[in-house]
Amino acid sequence: MHRRITDKLVVATHNPGKLAEMNELLAPYGIAAVSAGELGLAEPEETGNDFRSNAAIKAIAAAQATGLAAFADDSGIVVDALDGAPGIYSARWAGPSKDFNAAMAQIERLLQERGATTPDRRTAHFVSALCVAWPDDHREEVEARVDGTLIWPPRGTAGFGYDPMFLPDGHDRTFGEMTSIEKHGLPPLGLGLSHRARAFVKLAEICLEPR
Ligand code: ITT
């Protein structure tokens, strides 16, 4: 049976861009949220082979450390012409200094090497796996994606990570050129645009009630 989120929730991420989005998504539900960073929680090693397992690793670690329900996102960009890279290694491609300009340039270099110069060869999708874990090991898990094309040079300074390079299908602005509200694309704008908002809609259906 699905379980509702009723108490205080730990948002188990150390990524400030993600944290802002996860807090915005939670806001209409009136759940008190505290971040892993605020609580000084350690970052667990992400040893899973897929997004879903890594989201669970992060949520379980935070739930065990705090005794509270914990909400984690594992996400990344999957580039078709690069056989799915960087995928679950999307954060690592930015290196210890978290340089996403360098990570985007690396993707572009590899696309050029493979002759992926036309939009049909430059398709990619973002994936978000969300997990809420409780201290008694109950878990709720959902996943969603958004398809698009990689453009070069990157455009826009909003968002985080690979946003400036990603043009979602059906749009003429990159995620880096959208406000976070547009990137979520939730009502009244739509039924969810970003991978994270689409996954969150599924999570809200099973775990949350609007206040
Ligand atoms: P936490 O594990 O602490 O949550 P992280 O940044 O290490 O933070 P991930 O392991 O899930 O998180 O890595 C996902 C990476 O994929 C992230 O660092 C971004 O670079 C990229 N990414 C995920 N969602 C994105 C989005 O909405 N826009 C741009 N880039 C995104």
| Chain centroid offset of residue 206 CA | 19
Number of other CB atoms surrounding residue 138 within 10 Å: 13
Q: How many domains does the chain have?
A: 1
Q: Determine whether 137 is an active site residue.
A: no
Calculate how far, in angstroms, residue 112's C-alpha sits from the geometric centre of ligand 1.
Answer: 24
Residue of 10, 11, 13, 18 to test ligand 1 pocket, by largest number of atoms within 8 Å of CB? 18
Whole domain around residue 147: which residue ranges?
9-207
Calculate how far, in angstroms, residue 90's C-alpha sits from the geometric centre of ligand 1.
Answer: 7
Residue 188 included in any domain: yes
Token pair belonging to 140: 């709720």
| Side-by-side strand order, sheet with 69-79 | 33-35, 9-11, 69-79, 123-133, 139-150, 166-168
Residue 4 included in any domain: no
Residue 3 included in any domain: no
Separation of alpha carbons 134 and 156, rounded Å: 38
- pLDDT (tens digit, 9 = 90+) per residue, 52-90? 999 999 999 999 999 999 999 999 999 999 999 999 999
- Asked if residues 151 and 162 have their Cβ atoms less than 8 Å apart, the reply is no
CA dihedral 127, 20, 160, 76 (to 10 degrees): -20
pLDDT band at 207; cut points 50, 70, 90: very high
- pLDDT value, residue 125: 98
Separation of alpha carbons 21 and 186, rounded Å: 12
Separation of alpha carbons 131 and 141, rounded Å: 5
Residue 67 included in any domain: yes
Residue 190 included in any domain: yes
The neighbouring-strand residues paired with 146 are 126
- pLDDT (tens digit, 9 = 90+) per residue, 145-163? 999 999 999 999 999 999 9
Please identify which of the residues 7, 50, 74, 163 carries the catalytic annotation: 74
Q: What is the pTM of this model?
A: 0.97
Residue 1 included in any domain: no
Token pair belonging to 141: 């898990």
Q: Which residues of 165-204 are buried (b: 16+ CB within 10 A; e: fewer)?
A: bbbbeebeebbbbbebebbbbbeeeeebbbbbbbbbbbbb
Residue 195 included in any domain: yes
CATH of the domain at 199: 3.90.950.10
Residue 108 included in any domain: yes
Residue of 10, 13, 15, 104 to test ligand 1 pocket, by largest number of atoms within 8 Å of CB? 15
- pLDDT (tens digit, 9 = 90+) per residue, 86-124? 999 999 999 999 999 999 999 999 999 999 999 999 999
Over range 203-209, report the average pLDDT. Answer: 94
CA-based Rg of the chain, rounded to a whole angstrom? 17
